[in-house]
Structure 1
Amino acid sequence: MADGQLAAAGGSRRDRINVLEKYELRDWAICLDTPAAAIEEAVRAVGDHVDTVVTYLQERSRAA
């Protein structure tokens, strides 16, 4: 995923994922090509920092 995609998905807060905003969760799901539910799970598990969420999702996909 390109840095430009991450920047576009996050709006004004590009370093955090706000799962309480449906439009933001939808944009991150599209950007990360991941279901919104998986992003919500990741945020609950590791917090809302984009880098941490991306790492968590990558590790989960490798383990599957």
Structure 2
Amino acid sequence: MVQLFVRAGLAKSRKDAKRLITENGARIGDVLVENAGLILSASDLQEPLKLSAGKKRHAVVNLED
């Protein structure tokens, strides 16, 4: 989960992404991310995911073949 926020450009580093999650600023869709160690599988990425960091920063993640 941490790496996903970094690669999407919503966090500058892994440490920044962990802090974002622990401070309840990270969301997938409209669901709060509470576990920084959460691992998504390829089936979770079949449809585009909306990531949010705070109220104003958003990104859409697609899995390409």
TM-score, reference length from structure 2: 0.30
1 or 2 for the larger relative contact order (CA 8 Å, sep ≥6)? 2
Structure with a larger share of its residues in strand: 2
Structure with a larger share of its residues in helix: 1
TM-score, reference length from structure 1: 0.30
